[in-house]
Structure 1
Amino acid sequence: MATAGPTPFDPAAEFDRQVRTLTELGYPKLSGLAPERFAALLEPLRATALTAVAGEAAGEYDPESGRVPFVLVVTRELAPIEETMSRTTLHGGKLPGFVDRSFEPGALERFVATPEARHPGRHAYLILEVERGEEFCGSVPLDAMATIAGRGRSLLTIEEGVALITHFPQVLVKNKCFSLGGSRSGDRRVPAIWISQKAPKLGWCWEGNPHTWLGMASAGDRRATAGSSGS
């Protein structure tokens, strides 16, 4: 089936769409907030989105290529990862995403952002110039992470990977899944999101083991308010 291809990018409309997506998925209730309060919490990021991607507003974007201008991220302080992951689906799918049982009890809490991937907002922020990184499929994760760092880009965290497929489920496709090297727990495990049982799955792989179907996702920057930077 032929894909629709690139479409004109309107950052204001895209920001509204992402807020609407989170609201429809029950994030306000999940966060313990009324819908109006949840929307108000995110609203300051609108100006950030418009300012950050102003140069791209007249261009085009194509999520199926694995590249998107910005993604609205809600942190685990507001919404637990197990709950947000269960609100993801594959593009056109119905089965909810899930956390793999290979995460022992308490393990997710230990996978925190590395200093290089520390986020700039307590509850919500934006990641910019996002790539799922399929060029690194088949690469050793440690080597992929070093290459990305050398480009001045930052590895995505678990929350950011969940946000990416929440807003752009078409990014997660067979043989183009991705690792999330921005969250580590002090051992050799690297979190990753891939497809299992016809649904998104959050699992992990060893940092020295390459997989032909796992790339390495990254972002160009993180921002909470205009002018702030988290990378």
Structure 2
Amino acid sequence: MPDTTPAPSTVLPALPALSAQAERLIELGVHETAGLSADEIRTFAVKAEAGTEGQGGLLAVHPDRAPASALAPLLRRDGKPGFVVVDMPDVDDFTPCALELPDAPLYVVTGIDRGDHMANWSPDEALPALTKEDRTPLVLTEGVHWVLQQPEALERNLCFMTIGSRLRKPNGTLDARTPAIWISNGTGRDGRERRNAPKVGWCWWNNRHTWLGFASATGRRG
């Protein structure tokens, strides 16, 4: 079992208001990718804001409308765009597993945590711990949305996995790869020009990584 001593964690500021998040998505053209009008996103954000009772949350577009392959290049760090690793051409086939997303094009994710205290745990070890805490892991697109709205959620040595997304093989078994979002070192096939860029990649289900926590949430509502 991993060391369960809590790791040092940076306290992140509150997410922007949902109405501000809506404007950010519109600015990036996410509404067009999702087949939504700017007014639809604004209207949803206003109504959702009224129902949060001051708790806030993350405005997310359902992955069926805005897949990870379309969102990742919108990420920015040090002026460099985000990217998906070359050996993950099937990134959009990683779909929600063991959790249900709201049946709506837009929804709000509440109680997001980066899971720094689970750094150096494997996904296999982290998932039951999250379940015991009544939390569900983020899916990949939710993680990308989070970094789009709050770039400081991604820090050197404090990045995160999104194990709510898994790839199911034709025979029904789950692929051992699990998606994560971290910062490229510009090595290997990433290319030196991508050093410090936000990166969507994958890790093995049973492997541990000291720089990766497990992003999770307390709830979702459409």
TM-score, with length taken from structure 2: 0.81
Q: C-alpha distance in 1, partners of 2:92/2:23?
A: 28
Q: Do structure 1's residue 132 and structure 2's residue 114 form an aligned pair? A: yes
Q: C-alpha distance in 2, partners of 1:126/1:52?
A: 13
Partner of residue 25, structure 2: 22
Partner of residue 152, structure 2: 170
Q: How does 1:67-146 map to 2 (within 5 A)?
A: 69-90=56-77, 93-104=78-89, 107-116=90-99, 118-146=100-128
Q: Deviations over 1:89-123 (max 9, x none)?
A: 13xx211111111213xx2232110132x111421
1:71 aligned partner, one-letter code: L
2:102 aligned partner, one-letter code: P
Q: Deviations over 1:195-214 (max 9, x none)?
A: 01211111110011101111
Structure 2 residue matching 1:144: 3-state secondary structure: helix
Q: Do structure 1's residue 160 and structure 2's residue 151 form an aligned pair? A: no
Q: Deviations over 1:33-92 (max 9, x none)?
A: 4422442354432233x2372xxxxxxxxxxxxxxx5111111222232121111113xx
Q: C-alpha distance in 2, partners of 1:37/1:125?
A: 12
Unaligned runs of 5+ in 1: 54-68, 225-231
Partner of residue 4, structure 2: none
Q: How does 1:35-46 map to 2 (within 5 A)?
A: 35-46=38-49
Structure 2 residue matching 1:131: 3-state secondary structure: coil
Partner of residue 3, structure 2: none
Q: C-alpha distance in 2, partners of 1:124/1:136?
A: 29
1:217 aligned partner, one-letter code: A
Q: How does 1:44-55 map to 2 (within 5 A)?
A: 44-48=47-51, 50-51=52-53, 53=55
Structure 2 residue matching 1:175: 3-state secondary structure: coil
Asked whether the 8 Å contact 1:25–1:87 carries over to 2, the reply is yes
Partner of residue 178, structure 2: 190
1:111 aligned partner, one-letter code: F
**Percent of pairs with identical residues:** 32
Asked whether the 8 Å contact 1:77–1:122 carries over to 2, the reply is no
TM-score, with length taken from structure 1: 0.78
Unaligned runs of 5+ in 2: 1-10, 168-173, 185-194
